Amino acid sequence: MTKESQKTNTMTAEETARQNSFIELAQTLSAQKSNTLGRPLTYCLTTFGCQMNEKQSEVVAGIMDEIGYHRQDSEDADVVIYNTCTVRENANLKVYGRLGHLHSLKDKNPDMQIVLFGCMMQEPHVVEKIRKTYPFVNLVFGTHNIFKFAELFYEMQQSEQQIVDIWEGTDQIVEDLPTERNYTFKSGVNIMFGCNNFCSYCIVPYVRGRERSREPEAIIKEVKRLAADGVSEVMLLGQNVNSYGKTLENPVTFAQLLEMLEDIEGLKRIRFMTSHPKDLSDELIETMAKSKKICHHLHLPLQSGSSRVLKVMNRRYDKEKYLDLVERIRTAIPDISLTTDIIVGFPGETEEDFQETLDVVAKCEYDTAFTFLYSKRSDTPAAAMENQVPQDVAKERFNRLLALVQNEGRKRSSRFEGSVQEVLVEEESKEKGIFTGRTQYNLLVHFAGDESLLGKYVKVHLDECKGFYYLGTLEENE
């Protein structure tokens, strides 16, 4: 380990210890408040957005639990926390709408405290609006200083003023903070933060900051700890996992990290997302092909099948390179499940461009494609582009794409009908006695069972494909 790495580790350990001291201070305050009220203190935490946000919410939940608050679903709580998303303008509007509801709750209970954090808070105009229009919000912070939550929470308990703590960026990664996992048997693991890609339609690099990778030793330590605690499946998370390790003092490729994780005892499945096509390497394909633990599912966003549109999107690959990549992946891993993201109606998209997208969808045989109508995202280059596609034209194209995606996906997914697959049982569905799990191909399966199966791997006969999920029967020997 280099001197620089030792220095970084020391600083990280010091910050972790500092935040733990604020947890202890906040514990004292919460105990006093609970005794005064004669009841436990409660909090409600709502997460908007992606799996990265879900993972960060687990840290906030872990800290709240440590401080002495009890989580509940109702927003009629002592503390209401929103982890916000800002990928689309609609996500912002949803939060503003919810704040109106919280205002009425706070009128009835002036002691309620409201916390907003996450991507939306990294936008200066949002913070300004909250200061002016929603002064009843107690604490506002962003994406870069989530590790400071215990400190900020303690400060909020001591203050009657609105606290706003937004960082423009950071190179700090603080490890070993309390975490309250959503599942006991599977977990997300952040391997990197931020994004350097600057796709012209995307706000993420501006609110998440530049790429910074965690040290592989820290990731391995976390996954070993999770495996020892009963976690058998991990999802490695990053805005672009394929560029993992480039910012490290001693660079490590994503494929090399996967090989390190392969040997961890107790770990049965490894998933990851999201992969950017521009730098998905042959090394990674080879590693996936020979691995016994990496699931044969790959989410590979296309966004558009038109090379011209891809260039304007700043995706840094073209239609031919994408199709060649898919061919190499399918050659090495014939049973791979491919999923993708596609945007319809990007500025300047012509009918000819759209036909190129339909052509790629037909050739790639995706199991599922997540399709989106282009929506202007302010503060991105695409929002200022000329030739915005009329909504009626974009919607008509969207419907045509959706019909093709559903038809192709149904054909592709049904290839497993009649087979027996290993399924990780995740939860009971809304229908009592019917449980839901996933195959290694990320396909959902519903089947009759009981609660003893939760978190276990079972063999399920896939009776009928219903498009993007299966109805199955638990094998008798289970």
Write the secondary structure of 132-197 as one string of H (helix), E (strand) and C (coil): HHCCCCCEEECCCCHHHHHHHHHHHHHCCCCEEECCCCCCCCCCCCCCCCCCCCEEEEECEECCCC
pLDDT at 1: 47
pLDDT at 8: 52
Report pLDDT digits (tens) over 29-65.
Answer: 999 999 999 999 999 999 998 888 898 999 999 999 9
pLDDT at 172: 64
Q: How many angstroms separate the Cα of 151 from the Cα of each of 20, 22, 63?
A: 9, 5, 10
Model pTM score: 0.83
Going through 35-130 in order, the beta strands assigned E by DSSP cover: 41-47, 69-71, 79-84, 113-118
DSSP state for residue 388 in the 8-state scheme: P
Report pLDDT digits (tens) over 234-287.
Answer: 999 999 999 999 989 999 999 999 999 999 999 999 999 989 999 999 999 999
Q: What count of other Cβ atoms lies within 10 Å of the Cβ of residue 257?
A: 23
pLDDT at 175: 63
304 Cβ contact list (under 8 Å, min separation 6): 310, 313, 315, 342, 343, 346, 349, 353, 356, 357
Long-range pairs of 378-385 with CB within 8 A, sequence gap ≥ 24: 378/89, 379/123, 379/203, 379/206, 380/200, 380/201, 380/202, 380/203, 380/206, 381/200, 381/201, 381/314, 382/200, 382/201, 382/312, 382/313, 382/346, 382/347, 385/200, 385/312, 385/347, 385/348
Distance (Å, whole) CA 399 – CA 260: 44
Long-range pairs of 158-165 with CB within 8 A, sequence gap ≥ 24: 162/131, 162/135, 162/137, 162/138, 163/138, 163/139, 164/127, 164/130, 164/131, 164/140, 165/139, 165/140, 165/141
CB 295 within 8 A of CB 271: yes
Compute mean pLDDT per 10 residues along the chain, 478 residues long, and list them.
50 82 94 95 93 90 96 95 88 90 92 95 93 96 91 94 87 68 91 92 88 93 95 95 93 96 96 94 97 97 98 97 98 97 97 98 94 90 93 97 92 92 95 95 95 96 91 83
